[in-house]
Amino acid sequence: MASMATSSPISFAASFFKIKAFPLSPRFFPIRTLRCSVSSSSEPLEFDISFAPPKPKPASTRGGVSPQQLFIPWIVRGDDGTLKLQSQPPARLIHSLAIDATTQNPKKKEKSKKKQTQATSSSATASSSASASSPPPQSVPKLSKAARRFYNENFKEPPQRLSKVLAAAGVASRRTSEELIFDGKVTVNGILCNTPQTRVDPSRDIIYVNGNRIPKKLPPKVYFALNKPKGYICSSGEKEVKSVISLFDEYMASWDKRNPGTPKPRLFTVGRLDVATTGLIIVTNDGDFAQQLSHPSSSLPKEYITTVVGDIHKRHLMAISEGTIVEGVHCVPDLVELMPKQHDIPRARLRIVVHEGRNHEVRELVKNAGLVVHSLKRVRIGGFRLPSDLGLGKHAELKQSELKVLGWKR
């Protein structure tokens, strides 16, 4: 409580605030109660101005008259220029607020009205459908521009080279697809295309090869680990020798039952193993994946188990460790180790790890040391090892965790 006495409450308020009109509140005024008294000829008149609901007070003993209480007072300058206190806001302020409320943001009000009408119409249709005991139709949500942009940047594949699209569609290998394009057997949107580097989108562009249209939906990417048996080659050029892709004939025959309406993938091997070498080889239809794994910059270690004829001595191990020239490049193995003998395997075995992956590299290393290879088997690529329960000629689909172990980065 703070008490202040002046000659006039109006002059006191004018000297204290010095404004025309200002609504007071507890956050603007530092005190909660202000008592002003005015001395007149008859008896003083007191104003008890409170900024919060006052506590019950006893009646004043001065003249037996209770003080007048004004809650949240307004100090307004009248038409005559004098200031006065009143408990209600001025009429001019109320009138201006009403005008602002009617003229502010008319578009938002229109949108809110439209939403209300739509909500009422949808509720009406829902009630009518419920009365007819039939479920309401489900409307497809419309995605925003930001959502569509995020999908296109992160999930939708960008336009690709024409030769790559033809290879992914299963027409032929990428090299053969380029030959088809050069021969004038491919059209894009009704126009003959002779450039394999042309960027196309199979979901939008109309592509024909030899009069047959390429489907809009490309086959999904598949990845397999195959235990290659002896006598199979990794290419399909020679008809006299079986290809490792023929080991997937049963899988491809049941493709339509497992994936109805989806085109069949065109499988090929990642890298090669010669016809006499067995063991792990990756089979896929993803060209980018194959390029990354087989490129020399990946430097993926490849582990082989070599069975040799005769005994192995220290000089043989030293000669293999020093390396040899393969395809004009001096290749040095990462590891050479003599494996312990087993009762069921009478011949000596070597564990050799290389990262170059050149043609016949392990065989050349063993041959340069003066040894004869009896059998050769690849058991590991990168961090992925051939499963022990995967029989010869059998394949297993790779999981995402196994692809990461191989070093695949999408």
User: Residue 48 pairs with which residues in a beta bridge?
Assistant: 35, 69
Both structure tokens of 378: 């690849």
Strand ranges, E, within 74-193: 74-77, 83-86, 160-161, 186-188, 191-192
Residue among 284, 273, 281 at smallest CA distance from 233:
273
Which position has the token pair 């739509």? 118
Residue among 283, 187, 262 at smallest CA distance from 217:
262
- CB half-sphere exposure, 34, CA atoms < 13 A: 20
Both structure tokens of 89: 């806001």
Longest distance between any two alpha carbons in the chain, whole Å = 137
Q: For the chain, give percent helix, strand, coil, nearest 5.
A: 30, 25, 45
Q: Sign of torsion, CA 211 212 217 220?
A: negative
Helix (H, G, I), strand (E, B) or coil at 95: helix
358 within 8 A of 329, measured Cβ to Cβ = yes
Alpha carbon distance 74, 21 (integer Å): 7
Alpha carbon distance 195, 211 (integer Å): 18
48, 80, 205, 274: the catalytic one is 274
Count CB atoms within 10 A of the CB of residue 86: 13
Helix (H, G, I), strand (E, B) or coil at 268: strand
31 within 8 A of 2, measured Cβ to Cβ = yes
Which position has the token pair 């479920």? 135
Which position has the token pair 């039952």? 257
Residue among 352, 358, 314, 361 at smallest CA distance from 334:
352
Alpha carbon distance 164, 159 (integer Å): 10
Query: Does 183 participate in catalysis according to the annotation?
Result: no
Q: Which residues are catalytic?
A: 274
